[in-house]
Chains A and B, each alone.
Chain A
Amino acid sequence: QQKVQQSPESLIVPEGGMASLNCTSSDRNVDYFWWYRQHSGKSPKMLMSIFSNGEKEEGRFTVHLNKASLHTSLHIRDSQPSDSALYLCAAIYNQGKLIFGQGTKLSIKP
């Protein structure tokens, strides 16, 4: 059964620091990864997506993908208190299936 594993479960980063979040698929048939951000008490909102090997940068956010290791990572530089949230990774599989990971809870300490 396909699973998406995120690590760490929770992370504390000082304001201005770098946050690094990881996500790995258990199944090789993954086509696409999404990253969503969910502030406390709110709904998830799409942050970034990636489907090609390599790196994609949008402002302070960078996503890496290594398809050979079925691994994606999200890096947030110059972290702000407003970045404190639950970060959800979702994998899209070529059989037309979508699986979310359990999330990483990020806390930015002023």
Chain B
Amino acid sequence: DMKVTQMPRYLIKRMGENVLLECGQDMSHETMYWYRQDPGLGLQLIYISYDVDSNSEGDIPKGYRVSRKKREHFSLILDSAKTNQTSVYFCASSPGGYYAEQFFGPGTRLTVL
């Protein structure tokens, strides 16, 4: 059963704390993505990874960094989280670049107090 997993599903952090969001996929997809979703703003691309150690900034990379050391895992890191990073974060994977269908994980709801 092909799937994208995200951990944790819910997270509450205080401002200034570090945050690690993890994403896994079992489809051997080359491309993986991190998005955030806020009401009325759709999905905003934070980072895209084309393969291991091949990452590119999306539209809103400021305040975030990523790590991809294995094809099946893609991490999103917030160093010193800010209250405006409260959001729902989605990870996705696809078998190619943008022209291929993206498969989304269940999302992580992050609250920064």
Contact = CB atoms under 8 A, between A and B. Distances in A.
Q: Is the interface of A mostly helix, strand, loop or mixed?
A: strand
Interface string B41-78: 11111000000000000010000000000000000000
Interface size grouping (class) on chain A: 20 to 34
Contact of A44 (B40, B43, B97, B99): B43
B97 A100 contact: no
B102 interface: yes
A97 B97 CA distance: 10
Interface size grouping (class) on chain B: 10 to 19
B95 interface: no
A17 B67 CA distance: 47
B101 A101 contact: no
Given A88-B42, A100-B44, A103-B42, A44 B98 contact: no
Contacts, number: 43
Interface of A: 4, 6, 9, 31-32, 34, 42-46, 49, 88, 90, 92, 96-103
A103 B37 CA distance: 11
A46 B93 CA distance: 12
A49 B101 CA distance: 9
B106 A46 contact: no
Contacts of B106: 42-43
Contact of B43 (A9, A31, A45, A100): A100
